[in-house]
Structure 1
Amino acid sequence: MTKPTGGAKGPDELRRQIEQTRSELGNTVEELAGKADVKGRALARAADLRDKAGAVTVQLRSSAAQAGHVVQDRAAHAGPGPVRTVVQAGMRHPGPVLVAGAAAGVVAVGVLRWRYVHGHH
């Protein structure tokens, strides 16, 4: 906040200083009201996290679906011992398995956060 170095040099200068002080005070009050609204800030943060989790979930679901198709294709062409072949394929290419696990984890965290935010403890 700027402080005048001297008194107002007339009624117009005094009105300008009063208007500037009112504006600064209004901004300060808005900032304080925003900081005092803990519930509103928490709801906004929860909505932001929900949006981010939704985007990550879509991406992980896509990756998991692709990984599932790869595993199904390999299992279909495995011949004898298809289960062993699928497990071996998962061990050789752990990335898709990790992506599927991460997707499940994100979904679980999202459900837990949603339940917490909506009071379903």
Structure 2
Amino acid sequence: MSEKNGSAKPDLAVLREEIKQTRAELGETVQALAARADVKARAREQVEHTKERVLTQAAAMTGRVREKALVASERVRGSAVEPVRTSPFPTVLVVAGLAAVVGVILIVRGRR
């Protein structure tokens, strides 16, 4: 305030400016303390941040899983389709299954 313990009168405009600046600094400090004390708001911010992080990670993992599933399905298609088409064994099983179903139907009808 004064430079020599009250011997000189301080300039009124300078004092008002210092008071204004001190009030502004005090207001900022109070706002910062209030923000730190607002647990609900901080918790909401943390939840939102965590949601965004989880959604980002989920999207990345979904992309990886789709890529791996595509590669695996292509590998299975390439290796499993050809032996089934060239092997007569599944055809024989289908014919035998149909014959068994027809036989069961005829036996059940014959008992009535």
Give the TM interval when normalised to the shorter protein: 0.5 to 0.7
Structure 2 residue matching 1:9: 3-state secondary structure:
coil
1:56 Cα deviation after fit = 1.2
Structure 1 runs of 4+ aligned residues shifted over 3 Å read 4-8
Letter in 1 for 2:78: H
- Higher RCO (Cα < 8 Å, 6 or more apart): 1
Aligned residue number for residue 12 of structure 2: 11
Aligned residue number for residue 93 of structure 1: none
What is the RMSD of the two structures over their aligned residues, measured on CA atoms?
1.8
Matches within 5 A, 1:21-32: 21-32=22-33
- Which one has a bigger Cα radius of gyration? 2
The Cα offsets for residues 3-48 of structure 1, whole Å up to 9 and x where unpaired, read as x573773110010110011011001100110010011101101101
Structure 2 residue matching 1:49: 3-state secondary structure:
helix
Aligned residue number for residue 54 of structure 2: 53
CA 1:16/1:49 → structure 2, altered by over 3 Å: closer, same or farther?
same
Letter in 1 for 2:28: N
1:5 and 1:12 map into 2 onto residues whose CA distance is 13
1:51 Cα deviation after fit = 0.6
| Ranges in structure 2 where 5+ consecutive residues have no aligned partner | 84-112
Letter in 2 for 1:61: T
Letter in 1 for 2:33: L
Identical positions, percent: 30
1:63 and 1:29 map into 2 onto residues whose CA distance is 48
1:31 and 1:58 map into 2 onto residues whose CA distance is 35
Aligned length: 77
Aligned residue number for residue 68 of structure 1: 69
| Ranges in structure 1 where 5+ consecutive residues have no aligned partner | 81-121
TM-score (normalizing by structure 2): 0.63
Letter in 2 for 1:18: I
TM-score (normalizing by structure 1): 0.58
